[in-house]
Amino acid sequence: MIEFFTDPVLRAPTLGSMLMCLASSLVGVIVFLRKRSLIGETLSHAAYPGVVLSIGVASLLPEEIFPIAVLAGAFATSLLGLKTVDILERKFRVKSDAALTFVLSFFFSIGILVASRFQTTHSLWYKQAEMFLFGQTATMTDIHIVIYGILAIFIIAFIVATFRHLEATNFDRSFAETLGIRCQTIDHASFLLLALAIVIGIRSCGVVLMAGMLIAPAASARLFSKRLSHHFLLAAVFGLAAGFIGNFLSIRLPQGTYVLPTGPTILLSAALLCLLSLLFAPKQGLFSRLFRRLRFHHECQMENGLKALWKGKKVEFPFLIYFHLRFRGLLDKHKILTSEGRQRAEKIVRLHRLWEVYLVDYLGQRAEKVHRNAEELEHLLTPDLEHALTELLHDPKLDPHHQPIPPGPPRTLL
C-alpha cells in the first residue's frame, strides 16, 4: 500500500486526489452548514467553459504553465457564475434554487458548445476538455501535487486563522456584526475558497461529480461532531480517506481490459462512507435510533408487567422480560414483586392516574376516553412533570375512575 505514496507513477494521482478531497471537504463544511449545498454543483459546472477556453489558450504556452492556465480559466468562469447567481437573486429577485439551476445549465451548455467546436478542428483540445467532464487522475504529474498542495495549505490556513470569525458569522450573523466582525469579508473569502476548491477538484472528479465531494464528507462528519472544530477535522479525515480509497480501488480492482475510472470511484467511496455514517453514527444513526426504540419498547413491557402484577393479575412474562426484571431485583424467583418492584409499579400507576385526572379536569376529556393516552404517557412522564402535575392538581387521591392514586415521593407532598 505504501507504494501509492512512493511510486513515481502512482504517487501523483494518489496525493493529488487526496489533496483535492481534503480541500473540498473542508470548504464543503462551510457550504453545508449554510445550507447552500447546491452552490457547489453550480460553480463546478460554471467552471467548465473556463476550462475549455483556457485549454485553447494554454496550448500556446509552455507545458509547465498548462495546469495553472486551466486552473485560472476555471476559476474565472466559476466566479462569473457566482456573480451571475448573485445578480439574479438580488436584482431580478429570482428564487435561489432557480438562479442556481439556471446558471448551472447556461454555463455548462456554453462549455459543451465550445468543446464540440474543437472536436473537428483540434481533436487534442477536445480530448483534454473531455477529461474535465468526469475527471482523470492517471495523467497527473508531480507539478499537480505541488499546486494542489499549496492551494490546500492556503485553505487550511484561512480556516485556522479565521476560525472564530467563521463560527460566529455562520452561526449568528447579526450578533457577529455587532461584535465588529466583518461578516461580508468572511463570506467573500469563503466563496473564493469554494471556487478554488472546485477548480482543484474538477481535475480528478470532473465538473459533473465535483459537488458530491464537497458535501459527502461534510454530511458524514456532521453525524459525529458536536463542535465546529471537530466537524472540520472529521470532514478532512473522511475526505482524505475517500481520496485514497477511491484511488486504491480504481487501480487494484480492475481485471483485464476493464477500467475503473478514478473520479467516480472516489465519489462512490465518499458516498459509501456517508452511508455507513448514516447507519452507524452514535446519536443520529439509523441503527442506534432503532436500538433506542427497541429499548423503550422493552422498558414499557417491563413496566406493564410490574403494573399488572401490582394489580394482582396473573402475568405470563416472556423470558427476556422475566430475566431482566429478576436481574434488576424487581421480581423474586416466585414471580412476586420485591419491595423495589412494588415501588416502581406504584410510581407507574400513580403517573397513569395523575395524567388521567389532568386530562379530565383540565382538558375536559371524557373519563372513559383517557385511559389509552395515559397508558402511553405513564412511561414517559419525568419526575419534574410529575411534580408539576401534583402541584397543579393539588395532589389528588382518586383518579377519574375512582381508583386510588398511590402517594408520590416525599418532595411532591411539600
Partner 1 sequence: MSMSSSKNGNSIFNVEELTVNYDKTAVLWDVTFSIPGGQLVGLIGPNGAGKSTLLKASIGLVRPLSGSVQFFGQSFERARSRVAYVPQRSSVDWDFPITALDLVLMGRYGSLGLFKWVSQKDREAAKKALDMVEMLPFAQRQISELSGGQQQRLFIARALLQEADLYLMDEPFAGIDMATEKMLVHLFRVLRGQGKTLLIVHHDLSAVQEYFDWLIMLNTCLIACGPVKEVYFDQNILRTYGRSTHLLDEAARLAQDKVTGLK
Candidate residues 131, 181, 245, 306; the one interacting with partner 1 per rule CB under 8 A: 181
Beta partners for residue 404, in sequence order: 398
Angle at 201 (CA atoms; ends 238, 278), nearest 5 degrees: 30
Cα 97 from Cα 138, distance rounded (Å): 35
Residues 6+ apart with CB under 8 A from 337: 306, 309, 310, 330, 331, 345
Q: Toward partner 1, which CB reaches closer, 125 or 358?
A: 358
Cβ distance to partner 1 smaller for residue 155 or 202: 155
| Alpha carbon distance 134, 164 (integer Å) | 36
C-alpha grid cell, residue 28: 464543503
The reply to whether 179 sits near partner 1 by the rule CB under 8 A is yes
Q: Which of 45, 144, 203, 231 binds partner 1 (CB under 8 A)?
A: 231
Interface with partner 1 includes 364 (CB under 8 A)?
no
Q: Which stretch binds partner 1 (CB under 8 A): 53-61, 227-235, 285-293, 401-409?
A: 227-235
Total residues in contact with partner 1, by rule CB under 8 A: 28
Please state, in angstroms and rounded to a whole number, the distance separating the CA atoms of residues 90 and 227: 33
Contact (CB, 8 A) for 47 and 78: yes
Give the residue with the Cβ less far from partner 1, 171 or 323: 171
User: Residues 5, 154, 175, 323: which binds partner 1 (CB under 8 A)?
Assistant: 175
Please give the Cα distance from 99 to 116 (Å, whole number).
Answer: 26
Residues in 15-54 at the binding interface with partner 1, rule: CB under 8 A? 33, 35
Work out whether 237 is an interface residue with partner 1 (CB under 8 A): no
Please give the sequence-ordered ranges of beta strands (E in DSSP) within 31-173, or none if there are none: none
Residue 119 or 185 having the CB closest to partner 1:
185
The nearer residue to partner 1, 235 or 370, going by C-beta atoms, is: 235
- Of the pair 161, 276, the CB lying nearest partner 1 is at 161
Burial status of residue 285 (CB atoms within 10 A of its CB: 0-12, 13-18, 19 or more): middle
Q: How far is the CB of 189 from partner 1 (least distance, A)?
A: 12
Considering only residues 139 to 168 of the shown chain, the ones binding partner 1 according to CB under 8 A are 160-165, 167-168
Distance CA 27, CA 393 (A): 55
Joined grid coordinates for residue 274: 456517508
Place of cell 408539576: 388
The residue among 79 and 218 lying less far from partner 1, judged by its C-beta, is: 218
> In the structure grid, which three cell numbers stand for residue 251, read together?
487501480
Computed over its alpha carbons, how large is the radius of gyration of the chain? Answer: 31
Backbone torsions φ then ψ of 308, nearest 5 degrees:
-65, -40
Query: Residue 357 CB, nearest distance to partner 1 (Å)?
Result: 21
Using CB under 8 A, which of 227, 333, 334, 402 touches partner 1?
227
For partner 1, give the closer residue by CB, 89 or 375. 89
Using CB under 8 A, pick the residue from 21, 74, 133, 176 that binds partner 1.
176
Q: Which stretch binds partner 1 (CB under 8 A): 5-13, 174-182, 291-299, 365-373?
A: 174-182
Classified as helix, coil or strand, 338 is coil
Which residues are bridge partners to 331 per DSSP?
Answer: 337
**Which positions touch partner 1 (CB under 8 A)?**
33, 35, 160-165, 167-168, 170-172, 174-181, 222, 225-228, 230-231
